[in-house]
Structure 1
Amino acid sequence: MLRKQGMKRSMARFDIVGQLGSLRRYARSLTRDSADAEDLVHDALVRAYERRGTFRSGGNPRAWLLAILHNIFIDRMRSRRSEAARIEQAGRLAEQNMPASQDHSVRLSQVREAFLSLPEEQRAALHLVAIEGLSYAEAADVSGVPLGTLMSRIGRARAALREMEEGAPARGKNHLRIVGGES
Structure 2
Amino acid sequence: MIDIVGPIIPSLRRYARALLRDAVAADDLVQDTLERAIGRWHQRREDASTRAWLLTILHNLAINTMRRNNRRGVAVAIDAVEESTMATLPSQEAGLAQRDVLRAVAQLPEDQRTLLLLIALEGVSYAEAATITGVPVGTVMSRLSRGRERLRRLLAEPGETAARPMLRSVK
Report the structure number with the largest CA radius of gyration.
1
Higher relative contact order (CA 8 A, sep 6+): 2
Q: What interval of TM-score do these two structures reach, taking the shorter chain for normalisation?
A: 0.3 to 0.5
TM-score by length of 1: 0.37
TM-score by length of 2: 0.40
